[in-house]
Each structure stands twice: as C-alpha cells, then as structure tokens.
C-alpha cells in the first residue's frame, strides 16, 4: 500500500470530519477531535475496501471517493448510535 494513498485517506478523513462536524452541530462527547478521528478511520476502511475490490491506486478518483464514502458512512453511523443512546 503506497504511502501516498494512506496520506490521502488521512487528509480526506480530516476534511470530512471537519465538514461533518460543522454541518451537524450539537452535543458530541468528543467534539471535533473525535469526529475527525472517526472520519479518518472510515476513510481508511473505505480506501482499503476499494483496494480489496481491485480499484487501482493512483489512477483516477475512485479510491479517494471510496475513502470519502467510508468516512461519511462511519460518521453517520456514529451519529446514529449517539442519537439512539441519548433517546433511551
């Protein structure tokens, strides 16, 4: 796995985490730091899954899009879990 793709995933996760935190205000136990970390983990998973599916690294935007989708998915799952915990 090239270092370039790992760095891209971290950057994509950071950007998605910041944007998600700005677009979804409210009380989160961890604030910006936890949102960014969750998005970075999601971007890593999304990028790794894209690689396992055979998407080429460094050719086009496919891998970066997969990382962004992974980050968004994990952020939404996190918010869903928080909402369920606070409603019970």
Q: Over its length of 88 residues, how does the chain's per-residue pLDDT go in tens digits?
A: 555 677 888 888 888 888 878 887 776 667 788 888 988 999 889 888 888 888 776 666 777 788 888 888 998 888 888 777 776 6
The pTM of the full predicted model, rounded to 2 decimals, is 0.80
Angle at CA 76, nearest 5°, toward 36 and 46?
70
Confirm if 13 and 43 have CB atoms less than 8 A apart: yes
Query: What's the pLDDT score for residue 88?
Result: 61
């Amino acid at each position: 796995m090239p270092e370039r793709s790992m760095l891209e995933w971290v950057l994509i996760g950071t950007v998605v985490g910041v944007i998600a935190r700005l677009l979804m205000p409210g009380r989160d136990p961890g604030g910006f730091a936890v949102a960014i970390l969750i998005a970075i983990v999601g971007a890593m998973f999304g990028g790794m899954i894209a690689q396992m599916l055979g998407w080429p690294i460094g050719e086009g935007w496919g891998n970066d899009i997969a990382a962004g989708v992974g980050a968004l998915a994990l952020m939404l799952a996190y918010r869903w879990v928080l909402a369920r915990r606070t409603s019970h």
